[in-house]
Structure 1
């Protein structure tokens, strides 16, 4: 395997699976490659300047994690909307009364407004499901669990269980399974390059579908750090516990980002051990892709990253 033969080296590229495609980002450049219904690969390349790049203060450790997460949500939704545009049904049909009203009110800003609404709704739903629900459930059981640390541990484990069940449930949908395959193709492409191999379908297919800088690993670190933090912090009332879970989200996200950054950049025994929980969870969110999906991932990567020059410089070091 490529992972066993060559040592991994940080490249700076990252990505995301979209509908029938891949988004790859390198610095301010990002590209979305989509396999269209007719079988052709469409590649769109643009620039996105993240908040920490625009405002130097936001590059400080811990702060950069919070705003990088926000940037990832905004850019991710933009790329998902673009990929979905190739598969919209009844594109030539007359818009409904609601659609005409929305177009009249927002005009060209409609897509941006809808994306903001979807992001806001998704964020609130995630807070309710993964943050507040475990706290409320454990509070109901508090009469049988005397230890505050025990309650915090149970709450964290319940949060992990809910996340796993959620992933298992949505993975049954065919479209989500396809997205998980493209997620695996994205990881394989980056692993192939970072292990010093030419970016060919054969080499990519032989690479690992788990990657250290994956957003799934970030979520795992969020859950792990929240368990440790809330085992140390004590709150007497339910409303204080709920409020603390909400207010400390940026703190936990900032710490988790720094941990993910260390694990993703450095390759040693400690980072390999820290990667294990994320690797286990990525087993749920990544699936082995086929050659056609890998070809889409390669097209997105080559649009923003000169892997030949990267390999040449690597060989000279």
Structure 2
């Protein structure tokens, strides 16, 4: 059974699935009903040619995935906002209601701010902070390669510590369960099985094209890249950490793309560490969570038609 061009992520009490230029987010609302919303985005065929070049396409996909991820996360969160302030609502009615255009501009501005803040925080925490900590050893260790290696180990430790720390939060635990439901659903379909709750529950919750694996590969690639860079000036060292983030993301994307579409021994071997990290970021879902994941897939893919076509091709 061939791989399908579909991916997704877990959101608050739900799952987002994307298939080329369409994506859908399914959310289990407080009343236990499943709400599904579909939308469109820029697909591979709609991009400028330069955006589909190796490395460059990784940068484009990373930014786009982050933007869609934040957007769908904000959408899912709105179903669970506290409705405890009724008085402010009366005050809002006295004000002029915003037009749809104003609301759209405000939403875009909020999303842009959230994405920018997320990128700045990630670069600061996982790139600049490890570089600064490792630089404290410059007077003791003269090998730039060894300093780069130590910096990478610190970066990995911060990343793993962050993942473990947030996994203890109750809301994050449930999100990790939905993450498992997302992976199980895709694995079930890629193995040629119908998307029933029973079939999906039996599938693996680990997948090589996972965003967690991507982030882990980013850490590894950054070690190799920064070990090869010898810069004495601290300000220039930090600047290069920022400037090379797109390059590292692009290289990491190419690896995930290769590993996700290959069953070779080397692809499976190099994917092992990322799959191990997924033991932390995915949990076994409940059946009602799997129902949400299936609803999200059905909104962007005719999986029955897909299975029928694959069966015909294998004859």
Regarding TM over 0.5, the answer is yes
Q: 1:96 to 1:33 in 2, by over 3 A?
A: same
State the shift of 1:77 in Å.
Answer: 1.2
Q: Any idea what SS the aligned residue of 2:3 has?
A: coil
| The one of 226, 236, 257 aligned to 2:232 | 236
Answer yes or no: is the 8 Å Cα contact 1:152–1:227 preserved in 2: yes
Once the 2 structures are TM-superposed, how far is the Cα of residue 91 of structure 1 from its aligned partner? 7.2
Indicate how the Cα distance of structure 1 residues 193 and 148 shifts in structure 2: closer, same or farther if over 3 A, else same: same
SS at match of 2:7: strand
* Residue 218 (structure 2) pairs with residue 222 (structure 1): yes
Partner residue of 1:264 out of 252, 260, 266: 260
Q: CA–CA distance in 2 between the matches of 1:21 and 1:298?
A: 11
CA deviation string 1:171-203 (max 9, x = no partner): 111111111110110001000101111111111
Match in the other structure for 2:3: 10
**CA–CA separation in structure 2 for the residues paired with 1:116 and 1:79:** 13
Deviation per CA, 1:182-231, whole angstroms, max 9, x where unpaired? 01100010001011111111111111111111111111111111111111
Give the C-alpha shift of residue 266 in structure 1: 1.4
SS at match of 1:158: helix
Deviation at 1:52, TM superposition (A): 7.0
Match of residue 111 from structure 1: 107
Shift of 1:309: 1.7
Following TM superposition, by how much is the alpha carbon of 1:80 offset from its aligned partner in structure 2, in angstroms?
0.8
Structure 1 unaligned regions, length at least 5? 1-7
Whole-angstrom CA distance in 1 between matches of 2:23 and 2:103: 26
Does the CA-based 8 Å contact 1:152-1:231 persist in structure 2? yes
Q: Which position in structure 2 is the counterpart of 1:35?
A: 28
Moved segments of 4+, more than 3 Å: 95-98, 103-108
Instruction: Using structure 2 for the length normalisation, give the TM-score.
Output: 0.92
Q: Give the conservation status (yes or no) of the 8 Å contact 1:53–1:59.
A: no
- The alignment of Structure 1 onto Structure 2 pairs a total of residues equal to 309
Structure 2: stretches of 5+ with no match in the other structure: none
Residue 162 in structure 1 maps to residue 155 in structure 2: no
TM-score by length of 1: 0.92
Cα shift at 1:43: 0.9
CA distance in 2, matches of 1:66, 1:196: 31
- Indicate the RMSD between aligned Cα atoms, in angstroms: 2.2
> Equivalent of 2:64, from 63, 71, 95?
71
After TM superposition, the structure 1 stretch with the greater mean CA deviation from structure 2, 132-141 or 227-236, is 227-236
State whether structure 2 residue 181 is matched by structure 1 residue 182. Answer: no
Would you say 1:87 and 2:80 are equivalent positions? yes
Q: How do residues 226-305 of structure 1 correspond to structure 2 at under 5 angstroms?
A: 226-305=222-301
Shift in CA distance, 202/113, structure 1 to aligned 2, threshold 3 Å: same
- The answer on whether the counterparts of 1:18 and 1:179 sit within 8 Å (CA) in structure 2 is yes
